[in-house]
Structure 1
Amino acid sequence: MSGDIAVLGAGLHPWGKWGRGFVEYGTVAARAALADAGLEWADVQSVVGADTVRGGYPGYVAGATFARALGWQGARVTSVYAACASGAQAVAAARAQLLAGLADVVLVVGADAAPKGFFAPAGGDRPDDPDWLRFRLLGATNPAYFGLYARRRMALYGDTADDFAQVKVKNAAAGALNPYARYRKPVTAAEVATSPVVADPLRLLDICATSDGAAALVLCGLDYARRRGVPDPVRIRAVATATPRYPRTELDLPDIATDSAASVPEAPAAFRPSLAEAAYEEAGLGPDDLSLAEVYDLSTALELQWYEDLGLCAEGGGTKLLRDGTTALGGRLPVNPSGGLASFGEAVPAQAIAQVCELTWQLRGRAGARQVPGARAGITANQGLFGHGSAVVVVR
């Protein structure tokens, strides 16, 4: 049986700092996705919500929260939490329901109302939580290990601070063309270089902001799409939610390496097979078949690492792709044509869903000024807590 499902609708609430609740943002995105699909809310048989731990109890039961906000109509509900990978795992849950015949139409929604500044662990002291331990024992906020990633690349591959700045320049140029982006202004390398240092060598403009925002997808089986008069829909062909492959040699010590896994020297090389290869194997295609990619650029240096982790180039070759213009709009393989987190900021449960929205619009040929000509296949990638990540392959 084919593992393909159809993307019938995609919708976003613009990113920003709006000062309202995540439910409002998610409802706007959901209604936009339903309108894009040409469906009514009553047509939806299942809702999968990507949870937000900062939204109080409603955020922990996001599926039911959005079902209630849209109006009780009998749909089954599912709620998924996996930090930054929540959106992709929500897509995976929806896909499983469709392939199992449990529903014909599933709505996937993720939304967040993020606080200003660094994300703090929710729920007070959590000594069994690696993130809590990292903050409490090391004082290492997320930008600290973004800086470690950057230093690692500088030491191993000769990357420079200007290379990192050029990632921001590239993504800001794309984001300036995206009406949903929070930051819609081109940025120069000089502006990056003169922004305040946050975690050396990374500066303020090297690191993504925290944002309010929402994204939604209406997913269905291929037969249902044909019955709706969509014979050749954009399709999700693979969803990989995988963990790295490296040993824990000190089992009695706290595992303080979380989503970056940066404390293990071979971690980036070990992460690639478990995520990218799983996605490519399931989809039956490889890096050479891609037209574009949307990756989780929490920092500029991390985007370069994704080029390698997704097999777009050999280990250490990410900077050459950047310098050659390969990953810019107009290049052979644009990465983050949406503008990425550099332009949106991070609305945790929404961003992985927004990545699929961008691929959907690109593969439909409806991405406006940021359109990748002839786009036929794309991949998303992001990472969640405790080292796991997710990738979604979308084809036309």
Structure 2
Amino acid sequence: MSGEVAVLGAGMHPWGKWGRGFVEYGVVAAREALADAGVDWRDVGSIVGADTVRGGYPGFVAGATFARALGWQGARVASVYAACASGAQAIAAARAQILAGLADVVLVVGADAAPKGFFRPAGGDRPDDPDWLRFRVLGATNPAYFGLYARRRMAVHGDTLEDFAQVKVKNAAAGALNTNARYRKAVTAEEVAASAVVADPLRLLDICATSDGAAALVLSSMEFARRHGAADPVRIRAVSTVTPTYPTTVLDLPDIATDSASAVAPADGTFRASIARAAYEEAGIGPEDVSLAEVYDLSTALELQWYEDLGLCAEGEGAKLLHDGATSAGGRVPVNTSGGLASFGEAVPAQAIAQVCEITWQLRGAAGARQVAGARVGVTANQGLFGHGSSVVAVR
């Protein structure tokens, strides 16, 4: 298909708390991806960095920061910020450059050195920022709204704490097999239940940590891939970065505060579902074609929501899909074979790129003990702040 680009290389710096700077992590991941692709850095025509707002000025110009660290060689440079969807939007920018003929080979890098504890808005007071308002006006740190998601599922769909715990059990088992994961230990449902309550009803083991880490991809045109000897590479077929749809299209903060119609969600599904739907439509596939998925499991409850939003099951049937074993290793459509954020934690600019790394290794048949047999189509999903979201479809 004309919109496809090849994934020639994938690389990561293991997640954890290493006490070093994000640039060091990103360079490690970039060099690993270049080696995996068999491409010299001097042959890269463009580099796109996913920004980290916690990394000071170098983090706001991540593309240039990584280009400098790898060595000036004349490549185009771009930097992208979209909160938790930053990595996928960096992939989208790289793909656009390739399809426009501006570069044959593009390096995409995301890395973070996350502070310990709850994320908070960076850069001082921002009363026009919904994230800042959520923290200052509501006192709602991220786990607080994870808990609200969970309570809604319990009220609307009858999900239970035991359902949520089984998501952690599944993802921890996968993470135990992944050398890049921060947490590499299987857990039991009893251990989840015994962990401290952080934001009722979610316990410590129901939510993800904050981590250091990095991921990188080398993308190319299909023509370059063939010249390079990659006859059948993994291909990115779609990248969805759509915004929500609302009845009133001109949204500003006074309207949101005074006009309830401005903040009423559309009748045709959630924002998350629209992200996935746009990706499927662009790729020319449907949920029934998906071999595996990497989703944004900020909490165990949110993973169940993604099953439904990705169309892997009907609304309200996420817990049933889980208990049927469909999303586990060996199931119909394994989800978070990497171990997910449950096993990695959040390194915000890197996580959407890391998802595509996992899909790439799976589609190559190179995921080792985590391998999904016969994997041909993978989909990723992320939700970022302020209307940012992403979904990537990769095929082989």
Taking structure 1 as the reference length, the TM-score comes to: 0.96
Q: Is the 8 A contact 1:383 1:389 kept in 2?
A: yes
Q: What is the SS of the residue equivalent to 1:210? A: coil
* Local SS of the residue matching 1:269: coil
Change in 2 beyond 3 A, CA 1:378/1:15? same
Report the residue type matching 2:235 in the other structure.
Answer: R
* Structure 2 unpaired stretches of 5+: 258-262
Q: Give the conservation status (yes or no) of the 8 Å contact 2:83–2:388.
A: no
Hey, what does 1:171 align to over in structure 2?
Answer: 171
Name 2:229's counterpart in structure 1. 229
Q: 1:315 to 1:246 in 2, by over 3 A?
A: farther
Aligned match of 1:363:
363
Counterpart for residue 148 of structure 2: 148
Aligned residues between the structures: 390
Unaligned runs of 5+ in 1: 257-262
1:102 to 1:252, Cα distance in 2 relative to 1, 3 A: closer
Per-residue CA distance 1:321-357 (angstroms, 9 max, x = gap): 1010100111110000000000000000000000000
User: 1:74, 1:3 → 2: CA distance?
Assistant: 26
Once residues 328 and 19 of structure 1 are traced to their aligned partners in structure 2, the CA distance between those partners, rounded to angstroms, is 33
Match of 1:68 in 2: 68
Name the residue aligned to 2:326.
326
Q: Which residue of 2 aligns with 1:110?
A: 110
**Residues 1-396 of structure 1: matches in 2 within 5 Å?**
2-247=2-247, 253=254, 269-396=269-396
Letter in 1 for 2:13: H
- Provide, for residues 170-208 of structure 1, a one-character-per-residue CA deviation record: whole Å limited to 9, x for no partner: 000000000000000001001110111011110010000
Deviation at 1:246, TM superposition (A): 3.2
Q: Percent identity?
A: 82
Cα 1:251–1:349, aligned 2, differ >3 Å: closer, same or farther?
closer
Offset of residue 266 of structure 1:
6.9
Could you say if the C-alpha distance between residues 103 and 265 of structure 1 is closer, same or farther in structure 2, counting changes exceeding 3 Å?
A: closer
Distance 1:224 1:6 in 2: 9
Give the superposed CA RMSD.
1.6
In structure 1, give the amino acid aligned to 2:278: A
Shift of 1:269: 2.6
CA–CA separation in structure 2 for the residues paired with 1:108 and 1:388? 19
Aligned mates of 1:144, 1:81 — CA distance in 2: 24
Equivalent position amino acid for 2:211 in 1: S
After TM superposition, give the deviation of residue 276 of structure 1 in Å. 1.2
Could you tell me which amino acid in structure 2 is paired with residue 342 of structure 1?
A: A
Offset of 1:235 from its aligned partner? 0.1
Q: Is the 8 A contact 2:174 2:337 kept in 1?
A: yes
Q: Name the CA distance, whole Å, in 2 between partners of 1:91 and 1:17.
A: 26
Q: Is the Cα contact below 8 Å between 1:244 and 1:267 reproduced in 2?
A: no
> After superposition, what is the alpha-carbon deviation per residue over 1:236-283, rounded to whole angstroms, capped at 9, x for unaligned?
000000122234699654859xxxxxx967799332452111100100
User: SS in structure 2 opposite 1:54?
Assistant: coil
**Structure 1, 158-167 or 243-252: larger mean CA deviation:** 243-252
Distance 2:267 2:130 in 1: 17
Aligned residues of 2:128 and 2:253 also touching (Cα < 8 A):
no
- CA distance 1:298–1:255, shift in 2 (3 Å): farther
In 2, are the aligned partners of 1:54 and 1:122 still within 8 Å (CA)? yes
Any conservation in 2 of the 1:130–1:254 contact (CA below 8 Å)?
A: no
Instruction: Kindly provide the amino acid, as one letter, of the partner of residue 137 in structure 1.
Output: V
Q: Do the aligned partners of 2:209 and 2:342 also contact (CA within 8 Å) in 1?
A: yes
Q: Return the letter of the residue paired with 2:17.
A: K
Contact 2:329 2:370 in 1 (8 A): yes
Q: Is the 8 A contact 1:192 1:203 kept in 2?
A: yes
Structure 2 residue identity aligned to 1:113: A
TM-score, normalized by length of structure 2? Answer: 0.96
Q: Give CA-to-partner distance per residue, 1:288-309, whole Å, 9 cap, x none.
A: 0010000000000000000011
Who is 2:260 aligned against?
none
